């Protein structure tokens, strides 16, 4: 399983056009790790404490909920 590199995320965040940290994180996952599969992204986010809090804050409890958000971005 992939671990989120938060230092690289902080660098990526400096150039992002998004304001929401979670949207930036999703774009970072797609760009930096080349992840396109919602299940893979969801599993990676669930395995990280900070990302898990972001998921919980948005009531995202499964990959399907995340998938709908991914296609809005």
Confidence (pLDDT) at 69: 85
Domain membership of residue 26 (yes or no) is yes
Residue 12 near residue 31 (C-beta atoms within 8 A): yes
Residue 49 near residue 20 (C-beta atoms within 8 A): no
What tokens were used for 73? 């971005």
> CA nearest 31: which of 8, 60, 48, 54?
8
pTM > 0.75: yes or no: yes
**How many domains would you assign to the chain?**
1
Domain membership of residue 1 (yes or no) is no
Give the number of C-alpha atoms closer than 13 A to the C-alpha of residue 71, restricted to the C-beta side: 7
Structural domain including 54 reads 6-70
> CA nearest 22: which of 56, 62, 63?
56
Domain membership of residue 63 (yes or no) is yes
Confidence (pLDDT) at 68: 86
Each residue's pLDDT tens digit, 15-72: 999 999 999 999 999 999 999 999 999 999 999 999 999 999 999 999 999 998 888 7
């Amino acid at each position: 399983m992939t671990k989120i590199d938060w230092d690289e995320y902080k660098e990526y965040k400096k150039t992002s056009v998004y304001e929401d940290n979670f949207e930036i994180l999703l774009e970072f996952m797609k760009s930096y790790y080349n992840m396109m599969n919602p299940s893979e992204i969801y599993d990676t986010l669930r395995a990280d404490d900070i990302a898990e809090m972001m998921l919980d804050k948005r009531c995202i409890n499964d990959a399907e909920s995340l998938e709908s958000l991914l296609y809005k971005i």
